[in-house]
Amino acid sequence: MKTLLDVQNLGKRFEGTQVLNDINIKVTEGEFIAIMGQSGSGKSTLLYNISGMDRPTSGMVLFGGKIISKLDDKKMSEIRLKQMGFIFQHSHLLKNLSIRDNIVFPGFKAGRYPRDKINQMADALMEKTGISNVADHDIKKVSGGQLQRAGICRSLINQPKILFADEPTGALNSSTTKDVMNIINKVNTEGTTVIIVTHDAKVAARADRVVFLMDGTIHDQLKLGKYGGENELSREKRLSGWLEKQGF
């Protein structure tokens, strides 16, 4: 498998504190990685630095073989728009747009396909995530779970190579969490690379590999293999035992 994301000796200093230190990680195409760690361990900072939303103070990030950690805002935005997808803890949809409009506008902006086709793609995504019935609704009129699914649809509209998710289920109940993770797993099995930051072991158990951060460095990694749905419980047990060893 080809390496999609290559993080080399990445460090981040913030207001005098070294938040991340000498991080090295390679992510192959189609891989699903979960980043875990205690609060303040630098999980989200790592995600933001490898996704080009923030700039590392040392080291470099290569995406598809190109250094992205030194690109200017315009070029980096272009990569984020066309090749990366983002899911946040809160959906961060634009409040003046309907669910459907929120999903299609990054597609219109990227301009890869004619707008009619983008609308068809949005319909298909909403169908897949089960929010077709609220497509034309105001975002204030739908539930948190529906909003998060809409956020996922938005992140996928430009068919990204990689999907970054920062605590995507942090504000959801367990049943909605399961639904959302099913969608993310499906997206991954269809070929999209996924990197997720979570503190929830059940969510992390869906990943191929779990990276554990401690005090800004990679403390350990656990390979779980591809998630198939049937071996869920044993993966969770294995992960829990490993996490216990990490002191989590």
- Which residues bind to other proteins, rule: CB under 8 A? 44-45, 48, 53-54, 73-74, 76-82, 84, 86, 88-89, 92, 94-98, 100-101, 104-106, 108-110, 115, 119, 122, 136, 138-140, 154-155, 158
The least CB distance from residue 160 to other proteins, in Å, is 10
The least CB distance from residue 185 to other proteins, in Å, is 22
DSSP three-state, residue 89:
coil
Kindly write down the DSSP assignment for every residue of 97-125, as one continuous string.
SBHHHHHHHHHHHHTSS-HHHHHHHHHHH
The least CB distance from residue 224 to other proteins, in Å, is 28
Please state, in angstroms and rounded to a whole number, the distance separating the CA atoms of residues 84 and 91: 16
The least CB distance from residue 108 to other proteins, in Å, is 5
Indicate the angle between helix axes 99-110 and 73-83, nearest 10 degrees: 120
Q: Which is nearer to other proteins, 136 or 245 (CB)?
A: 136
Q: Which is nearer to other proteins, 26 or 141 (CB)?
A: 141
Compute CA distances 65 → 2, 3, 90, whole Å.
10, 8, 31
Helix ranges (H only) for 16-72 are: 43-50
Q: Which is nearer to other proteins, 163 or 222 (CB)?
A: 163
Q: Which is nearer to other proteins, 142 or 203 (CB)?
A: 142
